Amino acid sequence: MENPLERAARDAERVRRWFASTERDYVIKVFAALVTSDSQIARTPTCAVVSVEQVPAWLASLPASRALNPDRRGEVVEQIRGLL
């Protein structure tokens, strides 16, 4: 069976490469997290482990991206919406 922490870290790397594939004058940081109720799973250097209740606090704890202004954020949102 595939390790969910490794899978989440690989998925985050794929997302980072996907964003980097578009010509931009800024870099988007991507963070991996596994959302689970299993308290026995330990975080790794490449993937956080949080419960559903901890997601808002984890998101708030991430460093703010100075490069991601409102226009750029809108561009990223539109790119993601184009996939859905």
pLDDT digits (tens, 9 = 90+) for 30-43: 999 999 999 999 99
HEC string of the chain equals: CCCHHHHHHHHHHHHHHHHHCCCCCCCCCCCCEEECCCCCCCCECCEEEECHHHHHHHHHHCCCCCCCCHHHHHHHHHHHHHHC
pTM over 0.75: yes
Domain count, the chain: 1
The C-alpha atoms of residue 84 and residue 74 are separated, in whole angstroms, by 16
Q: What is the pLDDT of residue 67?
A: 84
Q: Which structural domain range is residue 54 located in?
A: 4-83
